[in-house]
Amino acid sequence: MRRVPVAAVDELPQGTMKMVQVDGVDILIVALDDRFYAMQGICSHEYFELDKGFLTGDSITCALHLSRFDLETGEALDPPAELPLARYRVDVEDGLLVVELPDGPIPVNE
């Protein structure tokens, strides 16, 4: 595993999200209720950036076909999406958000 700093904590006020790129892969960071989440940044249904979606309670809603995904598990809560979003561990270290990723290709469900 490798640990990759992707943003400063200050860049993500609570209730916001930010897309970052690692190895050319979009990763969405969400700050909500004093917690941070990291997941694949492109919807598992079709190619659409999830940072254009909406935070809806403890889920994120894709703006293209309105599937919701659980922030905690990545599970697709509504059709048409069926596959969960890949989730990645994210920690705060010295004011930075650090995502834990495998050494090889970054897993993405599509």
45/87 with CB nearer ligand FES:
45
20/53 with CB nearer ligand FES:
53
9/77 with CB nearer ligand FES:
77
- The site for ligand FES (CB under 6 A) is made up of 43, 45-46, 48, 62, 64-65, 67, 80-81
For residues 99 and 27, the answer to whether their CB atoms sit within 8 Å is yes
In whole angstroms, the minimum distance from the beta carbon of 42 to ligand FES comes to 9
For residues 76 and 83, the answer to whether their CB atoms sit within 8 Å is yes
Q: How far apart are CA 98 and CA 92, in angstroms?
A: 6
ω into residue 80 within 30 of 0, thus cis? yes
In whole angstroms, the minimum distance from the beta carbon of 109 to ligand FES comes to 12
